[in-house]
Amino acid sequence: MIITRTPLRISIGGGGTDLPSYYSRFGGFVISAAISRYVYITLHRTFQKNFILKYSQLETVDEAAKIHHPIIREAFQMHQMEPYLEMASMADIPAGTGLGSSGSFNVGLLRAIYAFKREHITAEALAEEACRIELDLLKEPIGKQDQYIAAIGGLICMEFAKDGQVAVSPLRVPSEALHDLEDNLLMFFTGYSRSASAVLADQKARTEKDDGAMIENLHFIKDLGFSIRIALESGNMEEFARLMHQHWLHKKKRSAGITNDQISAWYETGMAHGALGGKLIGAGGGGFLLFYARDRTALRKAMTQQGLVEVRFTFDLEGSKVMVTDS
């Protein structure tokens, strides 16, 4: 049996500039952090001449081309996987909540396939193969940050060249600032988000049509990402919180589907009760509110009174890994 563990992520800055519709013309920049919430994938041989697939649904098919789940289908066909195989997935956080679960699932599945075949692959190559499945084969209107942060882990900066090449470097946060981030970044569940693809498809279409407001918004978000890197690497946490708030103010202008009256009210409650800055994680419409707190106790009390559940986390520094291999 093969078991892989792949982290989910929070986007720290520059989110949205990792879509090909933007970076292929202007280049992109994103800061992401892998967190200690995971997607788990198991693969093992069976005595039944089928693929048995267990995720939010159950599939039993006799050839890879008949698999309904698009990522599993493309990955199995790409690697010429044979029947007599069972795959199952579990996750600490459900899909559709803005933490990059699709990219983590994809990377974790590919990591399991390579382990099953006893083949080596680097984290960067694993991420790029996951991008090929989602962006090139499935034509999803998404970016590349989720696959890279899931594969590599840690806190990383990603620069997206016009030709699609991705340059990855560590976010060089001083140790004290890193501990400060883990202590004071608080995340609260607002409910399931609308489809990320719907929000991102709107961004993609408007960018490709030279929508001036969208392109200027993304330019601003990219520049803000560089400013966030400077603030964090210099240990200036109050400046980071201020930039985080600015990021949110500009992000929610990008599409009507990014926020709603209830999410905006929760955000204002957080800012009035101990938060210095915050943002909604993911494409929008739900998911998680992430705050940088000046007063953790006051913020937790206010969010709890609003009925929101906190999800605590630390940073994952390992990326996608094989936990068990016995094939």
| C-alpha gyration radius of the chain | 20
C-alpha distances in angstroms, 105 versus 82, 94, 109, 111, 160? 20, 11, 6, 10, 22
203 and 153 co-located in one domain:
no
pTM score of the predicted model:
0.95
Task: Decide if pLDDT at 327 tops 70.
Answer: no
Q: Are residues 84 and 205 in the same domain?
A: no
Residue 91 has pLDDT above 60, yes or no: yes
Average per-residue pLDDT in the chain? 94
Instruction: Answer yes or no: are the C-beta atoms of 39 and 319 closer than 8 Å.
Output: no
pLDDT-derived band at 251 (thresholds 50, 70, 90) equals confident
| pLDDT at residue number 197 | 67
pLDDT above 80 (res 255): no
CA separation for the pair 173, 84 (Å, rounded): 47
State whether 271 and 189 are in the same domain: yes
List, for residues 34-74, the tens digit of each pLDDT value.
Answer: 999 999 999 999 999 999 999 999 999 999 999 999 999 99
Q: Is the per-residue pLDDT at 283 higher than 70? A: no
Q: Report the C-alpha gap between 160 and 18 in whole angstroms.
A: 7
Give the range of the structural domain holding residue 241, as residue numbers without chain letter: 175-310
pLDDT at residue 324, as a whole number: 83
Q: Are 64 and 109 in contact (CB under 8 A)?
A: no
Q: How far apart are CA 255 and CA 202, in angstroms?
A: 8
* Residues 165, 192 within the same domain: no
**pLDDT, tens only, 200-232:** 778 888 888 888 999 999 999 999 999 999 999
What would the pLDDT profile of 99-134 be if each residue is shown by its tens digit? 999 999 999 999 999 999 999 999 999 999 999 999
In the chain, how many domains are there? 2
Integer Cα distance of 216 and 279 in angstroms: 19
Percent of the chain with pLDDT over 70: 97
122 and 190 co-located in one domain: no
Considering the domain architecture, whether residues 269 and 252 belong to the same structural domain is answered as yes
Claim to verify: residue 72 and residue 120 sit in the same structural domain: yes
The domain spanning residue 184 has which CATH number? 3.30.70.890
Residue of higher predicted confidence among 193 and 299: 299
Q: What pLDDT, on a 0 to 100 scale, did the predictor assign at position 40?
A: 98
CATH number for the domain that contains residue 120? 3.30.230.10
Q: Are residues 103 and 182 in the same domain?
A: no
* % pLDDT > 90, the chain: 84
Answer yes or no: is pLDDT of 30 > 60: yes
| 295-322 pLDDT tens trace | 999 999 999 999 999 999 999 999 999 9
Q: pLDDT band for position 199 (50/70/90)?
A: confident
Statement to judge: residues 194 and 159 lie in one domain: no
Q: How much is the pLDDT for 196? A: 66
Q: Are residues 131 and 202 in the same domain?
A: no
Domain check: are 221 and 134 in the same one? Answer: no
Does 167 share its domain with 187? no
